[in-house]
Amino acid sequence: MADRYLRFTGTAPGRFLTRRLGLPRPAPLRRWSPERPALDGGLLHLTAGASRLALAPVLARTGLPADETAGRPAAVVLDATGVRTVEDLDGVHAALHPVVRSVAESGRIVVLGAPLDPGDHHQAAAQQALEGFTRSLGKETGGGRTVNLVRLTDAPAAESTLRFLLSPKSAYVSGQVIAVGDQASPAPEDADRPLTGRTALVTGAARGIGEAVAATLARDGADVVVLDVPQAEQDARRVAERIGGSVLLLDMTAADAGARIADALPGGLDVLVHNAGITRDRRLVNMPKDRWSPVLDVNLGRVLRTTDALLEAGALRRDGRIVATASIAGIAGNAGQTNYGASKAGVTGFVRALAPRALAEHGVTVNAVAPGFIETKMTAAVPLFIREAGRRMNSLAQGGLPVDVAETTAWFAHPGSGAVNGQVVRVCGQSLLGA
């Protein structure tokens, strides 16, 4: 459903009224397209504290030219990994205060921090302060700009993450804190189609967010298997035909779902995307068991069972990727969704517990996307005032699109994202809920 308010605020009367009444003023977001794959403008690289990162070669590969003039940069990267004291935080202010207003609309600000040192409470305090700073700045910038914090120790290992955050693909990702390890991954031969030669399976891919994920992975070169229930066969085949993929019709709640997937993919699987999910909303006092159990089983139980079965069967190849779909409902809670919120919080627990073991034992990373208000047929059916509140209650003052979730999934699936593990990244425009 079209966001008429967003369109109205782009008109002269809309701009006048929103200024006078103090209403939200969302800016149209720059998303990726083949015609405009990069942000328009240069990249300004700043430093606070004594950094030892060799960032210049990595930033040069983002596709944004260096901008040393601070005229109208498309992106600003502040290296604050050397911040160790409260006094060092003055350098964060000194670096960004003069330039933050000049960042172009739909621009990017990325703050780089270091992991918290448990043996140095001064360093830990100063680095933790960067989280509050980043999230607060994200709520101030406006104009479709995003602000994120990346904690890292090795610049090359963070290349895929920086390329994502400094591109139009991250249009609806803001206010996030992402930890990147030091496990460097080889760069793909084709930067434009990094998943070439890889097989990806997307559950619930016949429509909505799953369809967008399947299309985006196919765009990046993957051979995509469109998995959905037999009742969705017509839509699944339509999607597969459009993206050049194949179809697997399967009820994921079946006890042997994992084994059947492994049998259908004898050559193995590189990317597993757990997207399928259901809702059965009702307040707990009015929720019978037949509305509770299916949501927990589909959204969480089948994720656990299928993943276990595929890992045990060796169906996921080394350097593989598992991406699950969580939700801000599992982070902030939502009235009428105790079942859904529980299931999606469970996905977060699954990711954080399995990630280190899956990487150590199978060479596979495990991450999750947590969508906020995304414009789908489901949200289009929400009553008008609730829908408008959902759209406006984030720093970008608008709903996201299925492609925003898909682009974040594609970043997790990237061969160069081997150092990104155990992360739950909200795709919510920095929702004011659960922030």
Residue 86 CB: number of other CB atoms within 10 A?
A: 11
* Dihedral of alpha carbons 166, 169, 174, 176, sign: negative
Residue keyed to tokens 């360093």: 123
For residue 77, give the nearest of 106, 48, 101 by alpha carbon: 48
Burial class (CB in 10 A: 0-12, 13-18, 19+), 70: middle
Give strand ranges (E) for 53-191: 75-82, 108-113, 146-151, 177-179
Give one word for 426, left, alpha or beta, with left for phi > 0 and alpha for psi -120 to 50.
beta
5 is catalytic: no
Please, which residues have CB within 8 angstroms of residue 349's CB and are 6 or more apart in sequence?
none
- For the chain, counts of helices (H) and of strands (E): 16, 12
DSSP, collapsed to helix, strand or coil, labels residue 216 as helix
d(CA 155, CA 94): 23
5-27 residues labelled b (16+ CB within 10 A) or e (exposed): bbeebeeeebeeebeeeeebebb
CA distances (Å), origin 400, targets 317, 336, 377, 428: 32, 22, 13, 7
* Dihedral of alpha carbons 40, 178, 61, 415, sign: negative
Give yes or no for a contact between 380 and 386, defined as CB atoms under 8 angstroms apart: no
For residue 391, give the nearest of 24, 14, 107 by alpha carbon: 24
Residue of 164, 340, 411, 412 marked catalytic: 340
The alpha-helical segments, DSSP class H, found in 166-314 are 208-219, 233-243, 257-264, 289-296, 302-313
Cα 65 to chain center, whole Å?
25
End-to-end CA distance of the chain: 26
Catalytically active residues are 340
